[in-house]
Every structure is written in C-alpha cells, then in structure tokens.
C-alpha cells in the first residue's frame, strides 16, 4: 500500500510539471512560512497545540491561477490522561501537489486552494542516557504513510499570505508501544499560517 501511494504522488507531481511546461506564462514563485496547528476529533478534544513550517514552489498560469508543490511539517502536542506526562505528541509531514485561485489581481486578494499528496504521521522516539553518557532508545518512533487532503482559504497582502488549512492526513500508526490509546485514530488538524512568497520571471 505504501509503495502504491508513493507512486501515485510521483505520478501527480509529474503531471503537474508537464502542465507547467506546456503553458506560455513564465512566472514562478518560491516561499516559506510558519504557523500554529491544532488537532481536531478525539485526539484534540482535550486541547492541543503545535508548530508548523512550510516550503513551497508555484507556477502561475496567469495572475489568478497557480499550481505547485508544498512541503509542510508540524509537531503537535495534545493533552493525554493515559500518558505519564499528561500529554503526548505526533509529528506530521505533508508532501503536496497544490493549486490556488486568487479572486483579484490587486495587491490584496482572497484566495482558495487545494493540496493533494502524502502524509507521514509519526510518534516521537523516546531515549535515555545512562551515567556513562550512552544513549539508548526506550521507545522507537512508529510511523505510517497515508493519502492527504489539504483545502485552504486565505488572503494575500502583496508577497505575504495569511491562510488557514484543514489537513486530512489519514490515521495514526497502529502502535503497540507509545500512544497505545491513540492508535489508529483519525489524524486531522488545522494550520493557521503566515507565508512569504517571492515571485519572479524565468
């Protein structure tokens, strides 16, 4: 299953690149940003908070429509009564092919977008250090790869974009160690982000 999802992502990326090559426009952009994240559903019902960052590249077919690729990574902690610490955490990495539509060509414009791709959901690795300074793994990291869907809305202010996305990232790893009570649950989360996007001609 994991191999099929990887091939599907590569195929979608190849199709996007092919469309980019056929268009007559030559405007591209690169960008990055930071954001805050929070889980929904059973995982986030008692509170959660996380940090996210983004890297992206886009190709503009015209002044309103673009397609591109995005990588975003989040570390999200949440309240967990079953944990000895009272909280647990997951890491999420999304690899997306995306499209965005800006409603106006002015410096300030609302926009909508959709990202499709793969999500890598992982538990943190827990280690300890003995008196001699040797590090050993107590609980190894466990991860799973799922299909991902990421609709978003936002507003562009010149080169800055303020947006919110809802990320549907499949289910958590089926674990027998860390986060047992949270095994195989839906992993969906909001990201509230601020990005800087720099356009230029090629």
pLDDT tens per residue, range 80-108: 766 666 778 899 999 999 999 999 988 89
Instruction: Read off the pLDDT of residues 102-135 as tens digits, 9 standing for 90 and up.
Output: 999 888 999 999 999 999 999 876 655 666 666 6
Q: Which of 123, 115, 159, 162 is nearest to 143 (CA)?
A: 123
- Gap between the Cα atoms of 92 and 54, Å rounded: 12
The predicted structure's pLDDT at residue 116: 97
Q: The whole model's pTM is what? A: 0.80
Reply yes or no on whether the pLDDT at 54 is more than 90.
yes
The predicted structure's pLDDT at residue 200: 86
- Gap between the Cα atoms of 148 and 138, Å rounded: 30
Reply yes or no on whether the pLDDT at 63 is more than 70.
yes
Instruction: Read off the pLDDT of residues 158-188 as tens digits, 9 standing for 90 and up.
Output: 999 999 999 999 998 877 655 656 778 899 9
- Gap between the Cα atoms of 48 and 80, Å rounded: 10
Mean of the per-residue pLDDT values of the chain: 83
Reply yes or no on whether the pLDDT at 20 is more than 50.
no
- Gap between the Cα atoms of 71 and 118, Å rounded: 10
| pLDDT bucket at 23, cuts 50 / 70 / 90 | very low
User: In terms of C-beta density within 10 A (0-12 exposed, 13-18 middle, 19 or more buried), how is residue 151 classed?
Assistant: middle
Is 96 in contact with 74 (CB distance < 8 Å)? no
The predicted structure's pLDDT at residue 155: 97
Write the CA distances from 36 to 28, 62, 169, integer angstroms: 27, 31, 17
Which letter does DSSP use for residue 125 in this model?
P
Letter string b/e over residues 4-36, b meaning 16 or more CB atoms within 10 A of that residue's CB: ebeeebeebeeebeeebeeeeeebbbebebebe
Instruction: Read off the pLDDT of residues 153-166 as tens digits, 9 standing for 90 and up.
Output: 999 999 999 999 99
């Amino acid at each position: 299953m994991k191999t099929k999802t990887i091939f599907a992502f590569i195929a979608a990326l190849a199709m996007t690149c092919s469309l980019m090559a056929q268009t007559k426009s030559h405007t591209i952009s690169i960008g990055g940003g930071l954001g805050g994240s929070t889980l929904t559903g059973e995982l986030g019902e008692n509170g959660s908070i996380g940090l996210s960052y983004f890297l992206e590249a886009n190709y503009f077919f015209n002044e309103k429509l673009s397609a591109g690729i995005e990588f975003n990574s989040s570390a999200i902690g949440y309240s967990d009564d079953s944990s000895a610490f009272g909280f647990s955490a997951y890491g999420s990495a999304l690899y997306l092919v995306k499209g965005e539509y800006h409603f106006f060509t002015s410096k300030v414009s609302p926009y909508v977008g959709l990202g499709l791709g793969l999500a890598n959901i992982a538990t943190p690795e827990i280690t300890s250090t003995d008196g001699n300074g040797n590090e050993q793994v107590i609980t190894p990291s466990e991860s799973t790869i799922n299909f991902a869907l990421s609709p978003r809305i936002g507003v562009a202010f010149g080169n800055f974009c303020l947006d919110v996305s809802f990320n549907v990232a499949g289910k958590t790893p089926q674990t027998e160690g860390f986060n047992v009570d949270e095994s195989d649950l839906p992993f969906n989360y909001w990201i509230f982000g601020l990005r800087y996007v720099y356009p230029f001609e090629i």
